[in-house]
Structure 1
Amino acid sequence: MAPETNTPNMPLFRRELWQWLFSSVLAKSLLHPYRSDASVYDVVRQYYRNRPLLTVEEKKPLIRITSRPLNLETPLHHLTQPITSNDTFFVRSRLAIMPTDDAESYRLNIQGTVERPLELTLNDLKTQFEPVSVTAVAQCAGNSMAFFNPPVIPGWNLTHGFMGCATWTGVRVRDILAKAGVKAYARDVVFTGADRPIIDKTPLVEKSFRLAVDQTLDEDLLVAYAMNGQPLPSWNGYPVRLAAPGWYGTYWVKWLESITLIPKEFDGFWMSQAYRVPTHPVEPYQRLRETIPVTRYNVKSVITSPRDNDRVKPMQTINITGVAFDAGNGIRSVDVSIDGGKSWQKARLRPADGHYAWNLWSITITPKTRGKLTIMSQATSITGEIQPEQAIWNPGGYKYNATDSIDLLVSQS
């Protein structure tokens, strides 16, 4: 994505030009489907309901977002189980050229401010360190961005399927760093992916964690080589990727080729300019001044079944299901409304398969009269964080977590 600046008096980037354009009176009239008296869900139904499917190697048909680089969204009917299968897991790519998948030639370099630089093979990772498994949700920071109102311009037509829950197996980052020996003055740890851009000057995919304040030494941050008991699919980072439970997908670096410790704050593009949100709420399409990086998940629930706008019959028993998760504190409850938010009742929660996994939830209803039912879900975490009625608007379309909603049409036909 184009960078967002937090420095005054800088030239406008392309994204900011779009934001300026769509803040005009003309743009507001052009975007009439998102007017205040229209439901954003109606707009999403109209424009995104029949998106094309694409089948690629190792994957079932998924919703095509872009072809180069490849980005595929998972249809909601694949997200109704505790674990998302490898062949239905979403694909998020930032750069167009994938690395080769030759496991024999793979090397992971540990370098920078360390006592003993390392060059580890895939076999080294599997045999020289304790294997660890963590079940966790992976979610793109832009998941659900299509539901922002007013819309993110320019933005992708992502609904709720840029997420999945899998069991990740690999090596603790802290164990690798212990073997390399971290020097006392090391400050940041930078993870670099092996995918490459078509244009040379495009920044490589690099993300960083602060040794002192972030999760680098946390026991759950993994260099992962397996997913649901199988080698990683090529599109999901084979042979090795970073798995950062509780953190947005921008930190889950695929095709990991190096871990570099540096004695200063990392200021690479993907940390200092991209994947940032305003420090304070802003009016839509206004130029940003101060931003901070996207970091950990907020609390979220999504309705996975039935499908939005499905038709049901009076007195038919309907099972409403969904998922709920947060950054790892756990979900206390999910409240469901079948009358557009006028009244709420508790859903049944299935215990999650770990702190970072999602809870499945369900509730059974029997509509008695014909008409439209608006079903809504709202999650509350163990720490008391409540899924808001509206998400905090930001120009990147990140961290959307508003109360979810679908309509059911009750009729005899």
Structure 2
Amino acid sequence: MNQTDHTPDPLARRLFLQSAAVGLGALAFARTSLAASTIELPLPDGADTRRLTTSFPGKGEMILQRTRPPLLETPWSVYDKGVFTPVDQFYVRWHWADIPTTMSPHTHKVRISGHVDKVLEFTVFDLMKHFKHVELAAVNQCSGNSRGYFQPRVPGGEWSNGAMGNARWVGVRLKDVLDAAGVKAGAVQVQFEGSERPVIPTAPNLKKSLSVDHARDGDVMIAWEMNGQSLPLLNGFPFRLVVPGWYATYWTKMLQHVRVLNEEDTNFWMKPAYTIPDNWPQANMTPGEKDVKFVPINRMVPRSFVTNLKSGASVGAGRPELVRGIAFGGDTGVKAVDVSIDGGKTWMPTELGRDYGKFSFRQWNTHLKFAKGDQTVMVRCTNTDGLQQPMTPNWNPGGFMRNVVESTKLMAV
């Protein structure tokens, strides 16, 4: 994690003012003025059609999964453009429909309370002024990314593979903020709550918790910037939690409350929501299986993808063809990315691109020669802990943690 000077940046201040002025008032427009173009997602049982939209404020062309609350998927072609995902095409996922449509960086505060020596409140400018700035490259991935490929199908957003993004996050260490409040002995967990609210008053606010040791590990951040820009409102302006190596359900947007707890958090969003079978890294069970122990979802697992070729594409036969893509190690770095064109019987190494840190996407590339006819490229990531993508997909009722070896079907001519 890189450190930077903690003097507030006038450019950052100007960006915040510009972002706040935009607001989300255009969301009502987005509901009635969706782009006419569509895209076919290659989901099981035939392609599923989705609309492409440019109608959401601060966003370029996105795949519309849901309007309210907004679920916007990154088009797959974006991932071939670079290791960092453009801010205007970074995926969007909210849980409740009542999200703020405007947000002032001057008045929105995060409150540090609970099992602490003193209660503190900070605006984004307070954080900029009083704490050391840090920068970290990290993948943000929805727990249900690729849920649309689960068979049997499960309830929830039918994402393809585009509910993930990689960014350089700038902010402050959560550890430093907690230390300023003074965590008392006996603290067990730290709970986080943002500004989204359910439309039904009796529904539970979204609250997520980390162990106190994890919250103070020095990697968890409160971030106000991604890829050189202030966070868009739809991605959590003015600041959000960044939990590197863990699924995005913990990356609380529009962070409002940080509560230090002296007992385990058992609220709905920790149990039963966002839970997986207790056999990490598989998170696997048989449909209909009984007496399965579930635990809160937590660390990510390795994944890798081909980005420059789509299934159904034609390639030249008998000559080297460039194949490239991205990979990430989950909760640690990428050790190797290998490819196979014989159904996984043999694997060939690829060349890895620049390493931006253990939580970041990493690009890879290779050249392959194909015989004429139908061909399948399989890609497999091994992380620095030795964990490797499995050849068979997992299943669980939440549609979480898919990381099977991906296959791209080609025609060599």
The TM-score, its normalising length taken from structure 1, stands at 0.85
Does structure 1 residue 232 correspond to structure 2 residue 235?
A: no
| Alignment of structure 1 residues 320-339 onto 2, 5 Å | 320-339=323-342
Following superposition, the deviation at residue 87 of structure 1 comes to 0.7
The structural deviation recorded for 1:185 is 2.0
One-letter code of the match for 2:104?
Answer: D
Instruction: Compute the displacement of 1:317 (Å).
Output: 4.7
| Alignment partner, residue 212 of structure 2 | 211
2:275 corresponds in structure 1 to 276
Q: Tell me, what secondary structure is at the counterpart of 2:269?
A: helix
Do residues 135 (structure 1) and 137 (structure 2) align?
Answer: yes
CA distance in structure 2 between the aligned counterparts of 1:42 and 1:73, rounded to whole angstroms: 14
Task: Pick one of 343, 365, 371 that aligns with 2:368.
Answer: 365
Q: Percent identity?
A: 36
Classify the secondary structure of the residue corresponding to 1:135: strand
The root-mean-square deviation of aligned C-alpha atoms, in Å, is 1.7
The structure 2 residue matched to 1:349, chosen from 348, 352, 357, is 352
- In structure 1, the partner of 2:185 is 184
- Contact 1:171 / 1:223 at 8 angstroms: preserved in 2? yes
The residue type equivalent to 1:303 in the other structure is V
1:178, CA displacement in angstroms? 0.7
1:266 offset after TM fit, Å?
A: 0.8
After superposition, the Cα gap between the structure-2 partners of 1:51 and 1:409, relative to the gap in structure 1 and judged at 3 Å, is: farther
Aligned residue among 107, 123, 132 for 1:105: 107
Correspondence for 1:117: 119
**2-structure distance, mates of 1:203, 1:308:** 41
Contact 1:221 1:242 in 2 (8 A): yes
Counterpart contact for 2:43–2:148, Cα < 8 Å: no
Which deviates more, 272-281 or 247-256? 272-281
> What does residue range 9-408 of structure 1 map to in structure 2 within 5 Å?
43-44=43-44, 46-48=46-48, 50-55=49-54, 56-80=56-80, 81-99=82-100, 100-148=102-150, 150-212=151-213, 215-280=214-279, 281-287=284-290, 289-315=292-318, 317-369=320-372, 371-408=373-410
Instruction: Decide whether the 8 Å contact of 1:138 with 1:249 is kept in 2.
Output: yes
Does the 8 A contact of 1:278 with 1:288 survive in 2?
A: no
The one-letter amino acid paired with 1:201 is T
Q: Is the 8 A contact 2:301 2:331 kept in 1?
A: no
Q: Distance in 2 between matches of 1:402 and 1:78?
A: 21
The separation in 2 between residues aligned to 1:346 and 1:135, in whole angstroms, is 25
Task: Flag the structure with more relative contact order, 1 or 2, with Cα contacts below 8 A and sequence separation at least 6.
Answer: 1
One-letter amino acid of the structure 2 residue matched with residue 360 of structure 1: Q
TM-superposed deviation, 1:365: 2.2
Deviates more, 1:285-294 or 1:59-68: 285-294
CA distance 1:295–1:308, shift in 2 (3 Å): same
Task: Summarize the Cα distance change of 1:208–1:87 in structure 2 as closer, same or farther, 3 Å threshold.
Answer: same
Q: Secondary structure at the match of 2:270?
A: helix
- Please list every run of at least 4 consecutive aligned residues from structure 1 whose deviation after the TM superposition is greater than 6 angstroms: none
- Any idea what the Cα deviations from partners look like across 1:320-365, whole Å, max 9, x if unmatched? 1111112343111111012332332111111321111111111122
Q: CA–CA distance in 1 between the matches of 2:42 and 2:119?
A: 55
Deviation per residue, 1:18-48 (Å, 9 max, x gap): xxxxxxxxxxxxxxxxxxxxxxx97538223
**SS of match in other structure, 1:332:** strand
The residue aligned with 1:29 is none
Q: Distance in 1 between the 2:330 and 2:47 partners?
A: 31
Contact kept? 1:188, 1:208, Cα under 8 Å: yes
Give the TM-score, by structure 2 length. 0.85
Give distance in 2, aligned partners of 1:45 and 1:236: 32
The 1:65/1:145 distance shift into structure 2, 3 A limit, reads: same
> How many Å separate the matches in 1 of 2:201 and 2:67?
20
Q: Using the alignment, how far apart are the partners of 1:342 and 1:328 within structure 2?
A: 28
Q: Secondary structure at the match of 2:44?
A: helix
Amino acid at match of 1:309: G
Instruction: Give the letter aligned to residue 205 of structure 1.
Output: L
* 1:95-143: CA deviation from partner (whole Å, max 9, x where unpaired): 1121232112111111111111011111101111001110001111111
Q: Secondary structure at the match of 1:44?
A: coil
The answer on whether the counterparts of 1:135 and 1:354 sit within 8 Å (CA) in structure 2 is: yes
